[in-house]
C-alpha cells in the first residue's frame, strides 16, 4: 500500500504542475481567439480545453464550453471558419469566413498576442512580489588572475561600474555585452568583504565570443578572475584524518565550525586557525543522509587547526560516478577513488583532469594514478571520442573516460529584488518578456546557423519536467517558467507554418496583396504540408526527450 501511495505521489508531483501550467497557457491562448472573435461578431460554437472526447461541457448561448480528454492543446470552433461551407445569407453576418480580412487577422493574431501579454503580466506580478537575483559579489579571485593584479579580492561587492549603480550581478553582465570585438575599460568601485571599506580599480575587459548563443550580443567583455562562483565546503577525507573515525565522509559538506557558519572553501583555514587546538572542535555537517554534529576532542599534539592538520581537502578530485561500460569502468576505476596524477602530472583541480584527457593523442593509453582505501593504484585508460553537449547548447566532440567528480561549488549568494512601484514592475515585466522573445527568436536563428544543436529541441516531456522541478522550488520560479513557455508559444504560433496561426496569417496577407483569397485546393495542400511538418517536429522533440532521459 505504501509503495502504491509513493507512486501516486510521484505521479501527481509530475503531472499536476504540468496540467496546471499547460492548462493555463492554453486557456489564455484560446481566450484571445474567443474574445476577439466575439468582438468581431463571429459566432463561436465551441471553446474547448483539450482535444478528443469531451468529458465536461456546458452550453451558454451559441457556445459550448468543454473540457476534453487530451490535455495537449485546445481550440475555438467558429461558425463558417471552413472555406467552401454553404452558409445562408442571413448567417453570413456571424460567419468567420465572411468577415473582412482585417477582422480575420485580428482573430487569429489575438491568441499569440494573449500569450505575449500574459507573460508581461506574470513578470509584472513576480517583480511586485519579489524575485531571486544574484548579488553583485565576486567569487574566488585567483591570485594569478588579471582581476587580482588590478586589486580585486574574493568577496568584493560591486557598487558601481563606469558611473552606473550595480544592484545585481545581472546589472554588471549587461554592461559587458558588446556588439563589436573592442576592449572595454571599466572603472569599478567595490566594497570590501568584512571591513566595508570602499576602493576603486581600473581594469580592461577583453572581448571574447559570447558563450551564450541566444544573446543578441556577439561578444562579451571578460576580466580574468571576475566571476560570481566560489569553491564550496564539500570535503575529501584522507585516511589520516582524525575526523574519519567520528564518521566524517568524503562528499560531506561543512556547514559550521564551532557555531560559525561557513559557506566557502576560502573561509575554512581562516576559521580553523582562530580556534586553539586546546579547544574541542565542533563541526556541523550535511551528509548524504541528514545534517549531523561531530565533536573532536582537543588536539594538543598539533600547533593549530587547519585543513592540512585535520586531513581534509577539496572533494573535486574524488569520483562520484563511474559510467557503466565507460573506459574508466573497464580500466577498473570506482566511485570514491581519488585522482592523483595523469601521465605523471600531479592534479590540482578538476580542470586539470579535463584538459589532460582532452589532449589524448589517440595512440598511447593514459597513465592514471589513483588513491583507493589508502593504497596507490596505477591504471592505464584509453579515452573514447564522445559527443558532449556544452553549457551553451552546442555539441563538442572530445575524448572522455566516463567519470564525474564530487562537485565542490557554492551557489552564488541570492537577494530578493522587488519593484518599488507598479510602473517600475510593468517596465520590468515588459523588458523581461521582450528579452525572452529575442532569445526564443535567436534560438531558431542559431539552429539554422548550426550554432546550437537540434538536440536542444524538447517536447511535452521537457515541459513536464521543467514544470515539476520549478513547482518544487517555489511559486515564483514556477510562474517564471510559465511566462517563458508562454513567450515560446507566442513565437511558435507565429511561425509561417499552415495549421499554426502564423500560417493562417500568411494566407490572409496573400489575400490582402492579391485582393482575393487563395484557392481552396492550394490551402488544403498547404495545410497537409504544415501538418506533416508539425508532426515531424513533435516526433523529433519526443525522440530528444526520450534519448535524454535514457542517457543515449
Q: Which residues are known catalytic residues? A: 30
- Residue 89, classed as helix, strand or coil, is coil
Q: Got the DSSP string for 319-370?
A: EEEE-TT-HHHHHT--TT-EEEEETTEEP-SHHHHHHHHHT--SSSPEEEEE
Contacts of 474 (CB under 8 A, 6+ apart): none
Q: What angle do CA 73, 79, 85 make, to 5 degrees?
A: 110
Cell numbers for 504, please give them. 493562417
Name which of 382, 371, 375, 374 is nearest 346 in CA terms.
371
Cell numbers for 536, please give them. 515531424
- Taking the CA atoms of 123, 127, 132 and 134 in sequence, report the sign of the dihedral they define: positive
- Residue 23, classed as helix, strand or coil, is helix
- 483-513: string of b/e by CB count within 10 Å (b at 16+)? bbbbbbbbbbbbbebbbbbbbbbbbbeeeee
Alpha helix stretches (DSSP H) within 359-474: 422-448, 460-473
Using only C-alpha atoms, what is the Rg of the chain? 30
Whether residue 200 contacts residue 189, with contact meaning beta carbons closer than 8 Å, is answered with: yes
Whether residue 111 contacts residue 29, with contact meaning beta carbons closer than 8 Å, is answered with: yes
- Residue 463, classed as helix, strand or coil, is helix
Per-residue DSSP letter, 497: -
Amino acid at each position: 500500500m505504501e509503495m502504491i501511495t509513493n507512486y501516486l505521489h510521484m505521479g501527481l508531483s509530475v503531472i499536476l504542475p504540468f496540467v496546471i501550467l499547460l492548462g493555463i497557457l492554453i486557456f489564455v491562448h484560446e481566450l484571445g481567439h474567443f474574445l476577439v472573435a466575439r468582438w468581431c461578431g463571429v459566432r463561436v460554437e465551441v471553446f474547448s480545453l483539450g482535444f478528443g472526447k469531451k468529458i465536461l461541457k456546458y452550453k451558454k448561448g451559441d457556445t459550448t464550453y468543454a473540457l476534453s480528454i487530451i490535455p495537449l492543446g485546445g481550440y475555438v470552433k467558429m461558425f463558417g471558419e471552413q472555406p467552401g461551407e454553404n452558409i445562408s445569407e442571413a448567417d453570413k453576418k456571424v460567419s468567420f469566413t465572411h468577415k473582412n480580412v482585417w477582422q480575420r487577422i485580428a482573430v487569429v493574431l489575438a491568441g499569440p498576442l494573449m500569450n505575449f501579454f500574459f507573460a508581461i503580466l506574470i513578470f509584472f506580478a513576480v517583480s511586485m512580489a519579489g524575485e531571486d537575483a544574484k548579488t553583485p559579489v565576486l567569487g574566488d579571485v585567483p591570485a594569478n588572475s588579471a582581476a587580482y593584479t588590478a586589486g580585486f579580492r574574493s568577496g568584493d561587492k560591486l557598487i558601481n561600474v563606469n558611473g552606473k549603480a550595480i544592484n545585481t550581478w545581472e546589472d554588471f553582465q549587461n554592461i559587458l555585452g558588446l556588439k563589436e570585438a573592442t576592449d572595454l575599460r571599466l572603472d569599478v568601485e567595490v566594497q570590501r568583504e568584512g571591513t566595508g571599506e570602499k576602493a576603486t580599480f581600473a581594469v580592461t575587459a577583453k572581448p571574447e565570443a559570447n558563450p551564450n548563443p541566444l544573446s543578441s550580443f556577439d561578444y562579451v567583455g571578460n576580466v580574468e578572475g571576475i566571476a560570481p562562483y566560489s569553491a564550496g565546503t564539500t570535503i575529501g577525507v584522507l585516511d589520516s584524518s582524525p575526523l574519519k573515525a567520528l564518521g566524517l565522509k568524503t562528499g560531506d559538506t561543512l556547514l559550521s565550525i564551532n557555531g560559525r557558519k561557513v559557506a566557502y572553501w576560502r573561509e575554512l583555514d581562516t576559521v580553523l586557525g582562530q580556534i586553539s587546538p586546546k579547544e574541542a572542535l565542533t563541526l556541523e555537517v550535511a551528509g548524504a543522509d541528514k545534517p549531523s554534529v561531530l565533536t573532536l576532542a582537543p588536539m594538543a599534539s598539533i600547533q593549530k587547526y587547519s585543513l592540512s592538520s585535520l586531513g581534509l581537502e577539496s572533494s573535486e578530485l574524488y569520483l562520484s560516478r563511474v559510467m557503466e561500460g565507460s573506459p574508466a569502468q573497464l580500466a577498473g576505476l570506482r566511485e570514491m577513488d581519488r585522482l592523483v596524477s595523469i601521465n605523471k602530472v600531479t592534479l590540482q583541480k578538476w580542470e586539470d583532469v579535463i584538459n589532460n584527457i582532452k589532449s589524448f593523442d589517440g595512440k598511447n593509453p593514459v597513465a592514471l594514478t589513483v588513491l583507493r582505501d589508502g593504497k596507490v593504484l596505477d591504471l592505464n585508460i584509453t579515452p573514447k571520442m564522445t559527443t558532449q553537449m556544452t553549457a551553451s547548447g552546442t555539441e563538442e566532440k572530445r575524448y572522455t573516460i566516463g567519470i564525474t567528480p564530487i562537485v565542490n561549488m557554492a551557489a552564488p549568494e541570492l537577494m530578493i529584488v522587488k519593484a518599488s512601484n507598479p510602473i517600475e514592475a510593468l517596465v520590468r515585466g515588459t523588458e523581461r518578456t521582450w528579452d525572452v522573445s529575442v532569445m526564443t527568436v535567436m534560438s531558431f536563428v542559431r539552429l539554422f546557423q548550426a550554432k546550437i544543436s537540434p538536440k536542444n529541441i524538447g517536447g511535452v516531456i521537457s515541459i513536464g519536467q521543467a514544470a515539476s522541478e520549478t513547482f518544487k522550488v517555489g511559486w515564483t520560479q514556477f510562474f517564471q517558467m510559465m511566462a517563458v513557455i508562454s513567450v515560446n508559444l507566442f513565437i511558435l504560433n507565429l511561425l509561417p507554418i499552415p495549421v499554426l496561426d502564423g500560417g493562417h496569417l500568411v494566407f490572409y496577407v496573400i489575400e490582402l496583396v492579391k485582393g482575393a483569397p487563395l484557392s481552396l485546393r492550394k490551402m488544403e495542400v498547404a495545410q497537409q504540408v504544415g501538418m506533416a511538418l508539425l508532426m515531424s517536429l513533435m516526433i523529433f522533440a519526443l525522440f530528444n526527450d526520450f534519448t535524454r532521459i535514457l542517457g543515449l
